[in-house]
Amino acid sequence: MNKLILIDGSGIAYRAFFALPLLNNDKGVYTNAVYGFTTMLMKIIEEEKPSHVLVAFDAGKTTFRHKTYKEYKGTRQKTPPELSEQFSFIHELLDAMGIKRYEIENYEADDIIGTLAVQAEKEGFETKVVTGDKDLLQLVDDHVTVSLTRKGITDVDDYDKEKVYERYEITPDKIIDLKGLMGDSSDNIPGVQGVGEKTAIKLLKQFGSIEDIYQSLEDVSGKKLKEKLENDREKAFLSKELATIEKHAPIDVKLDDLQYEYKVTSELIDLFKDLEFKTLLERVGFDEVISEDAEEETLEFEMVTEVNEQHLASPSALVVEVLEDNYHYADIVGLALANEKGRFYIPTETALNSSIFKEWLADANQKKIVFDGKKSIVSLKWRDIDINGVTFDIQMASYLIDPSESSHDLSAIAKRKHIKFVYSDDAFYGKGAKRVIPEGEKLGDHLIRKAEAMLKCQPLLKEELENNEQYSLFAELEMPLSLVLAEMEEKGVKISKETLESMGEELREKLEQKQKDIYELAGTSFNINSPKQLGEVLFEKLNLPVIKKTKTGYSTSADVLEKLESEHDIISEILDYRQLGKLNSTYIEGLLKVIHPKTGKIHTRFNQALTQTGRLSSTDPNLQNIPIRLEEGRKIRKAFIPSKQDWMMFSADYSQIELRVLAHIANDESLIEAFEHEMDIHTKTAMDVFGVDKEDVTSLMRRHAKAVNFGIVYGISDYGLSQSLNITRKEAGAFIDRYLESYPGVKQYMEDIVQKAKQDGFVTTLLHRRRYLPDITSRNFNRRSFAERTAMNTPIQGSAADIIKKAMIHMAKRLKDERMQANMLLQVHDELIFEAPKDEIDKLKTIVPDVMENAVKLKVPLKVDFSFGDTWYDAK
Partner DNA sequence: AGGCACACGC
Partner DNA sequence: GACGTACGTGTGCCTC
Q: Which residues bind DNA (CB under 7 A)?
A: 151, 432-433, 527, 529-533, 535, 550-552, 555-558, 561, 575, 578-579, 582, 585-586, 589-590, 593, 607, 610-613, 617-622, 624-630, 633-634, 714-717, 719-720, 729, 780-782, 785-786, 789, 828-831
Q: Kindly tell me which of 81 and 432 has the beta carbon lying closer to DNA.
A: 432
Q: Kindly tell me which of 107 and 587 has the beta carbon lying closer to DNA.
A: 587
Cα separation, 769 vs 774, whole angstroms: 16
Which phi and psi angles does 298 have, rounded to 5°? -100, 140
Q: Kindly tell me which of 643 and 724 has the beta carbon lying closer to DNA.
A: 724
- Give whole-number Cα distances, 483 to 251, 294, 610, 653, 747, in Å: 69, 33, 17, 22, 39
Q: Kindly tell me which of 206 and 279 has the beta carbon lying closer to DNA.
A: 279
Q: Kindly tell me which of 78 and 151 has the beta carbon lying closer to DNA.
A: 151
CA 833 to chain centre: 29
Cis preceding linkage at 744, omega within 30:
no
- 141, 171 in Cβ contact below 8 A? no
DSSP assignment letter at 217: G
148 bridge partner residues: 131, 157
List alpha helices for 196-285, DSSP H: 197-207, 210-215, 223-231, 233-243, 266-275, 278-283
Closest approach, Cβ 326 to DNA, in A, equals 9
Closest approach, Cβ 707 to DNA, in A, equals 12
- Give whole-number Cα distances, 684 to 692, 695, 706, 830, in Å: 10, 11, 10, 22
Closest approach, Cβ 751 to DNA, in A, equals 19
Q: Kindly tell me which of 502 and 625 has the beta carbon lying closer to DNA.
A: 625
Cα separation, 375 vs 803, whole angstroms: 24
**3 state SS of 308:** coil
Residues across the chain: 876
Closest approach, Cβ 620 to DNA, in A, equals 4
- 226, 217 in Cβ contact below 8 A? yes
Q: Kindly tell me which of 100 and 563 has the beta carbon lying closer to DNA.
A: 563
- Give whole-number Cα distances, 724 to 473, 720, 730, in Å: 36, 6, 14
The continuous run of DSSP H or E covering 771 comes out as strand 770-772
List alpha helices for 468-594, DSSP H: 471-472, 479-491, 497-522, 531-535, 558-564, 570-582, 590-593
649 bridge partner residues: 835, 869
Which phi and psi angles does 14 have, rounded to 5°? -60, -50
- 682, 710 in Cβ contact below 8 A? no
Q: Kindly tell me which of 313 and 547 has the beta carbon lying closer to DNA.
A: 547
Closest approach, Cβ 646 to DNA, in A, equals 27
Cα within 13 Å of Cα(580), Cβ side: 20
Which phi and psi angles does 606 have, rounded to 5°? -90, 125
Cα separation, 379 vs 382, whole angstroms: 6
Closest approach, Cβ 616 to DNA, in A, equals 9
Closest approach, Cβ 749 to DNA, in A, equals 18
Closest approach, Cβ 478 to DNA, in A, equals 16
Closest approach, Cβ 615 to DNA, in A, equals 7
Cα separation, 127 vs 136, whole angstroms: 13
Closest approach, Cβ 31 to DNA, in A, equals 21
Cα separation, 257 vs 255, whole angstroms: 5
**Cα-only R_g, the chain:** 32
Closest approach, Cβ 667 to DNA, in A, equals 24
- 272, 286 in Cβ contact below 8 A? yes
- Report which residue type is found at 566: S
Q: Kindly tell me which of 238 and 580 has the beta carbon lying closer to DNA.
A: 580
- Report which residue type is found at 139: L
Q: Kindly tell me which of 262 and 719 has the beta carbon lying closer to DNA.
A: 719
Q: Kindly tell me which of 94 and 639 has the beta carbon lying closer to DNA.
A: 639
Q: Kindly tell me which of 193 and 782 has the beta carbon lying closer to DNA.
A: 782
- 55, 9 in Cβ contact below 8 A? yes
Q: Kindly tell me which of 334 and 535 has the beta carbon lying closer to DNA.
A: 535
Q: Kindly tell me which of 413 and 588 has the beta carbon lying closer to DNA.
A: 588
Q: Kindly tell me which of 715 and 745 has the beta carbon lying closer to DNA.
A: 715
- 247, 173 in Cβ contact below 8 A? no
Q: Kindly tell me which of 582 and 838 has the beta carbon lying closer to DNA.
A: 582
Q: Kindly tell me which of 404 and 472 has the beta carbon lying closer to DNA.
A: 404
> Would you state the torsion angle of the CA atoms of residues 226, 228, 230, 234, taken in this order, to the nearest 10 degrees?
-140
DSSP assignment letter at 629: S
Cα separation, 255 vs 258, whole angstroms: 5
**3 state SS of 672:** helix
- 644, 841 in Cβ contact below 8 A? no
The continuous run of DSSP H or E covering 658 comes out as helix 657-666
Closest approach, Cβ 539 to DNA, in A, equals 11
835 bridge partner residues: 649, 823
Closest approach, Cβ 279 to DNA, in A, equals 11
Closest approach, Cβ 790 to DNA, in A, equals 7
Closest approach, Cβ 873 to DNA, in A, equals 12
Closest approach, Cβ 714 to DNA, in A, equals 4
Cα separation, 199 vs 213, whole angstroms: 12
Closest approach, Cβ 266 to DNA, in A, equals 27
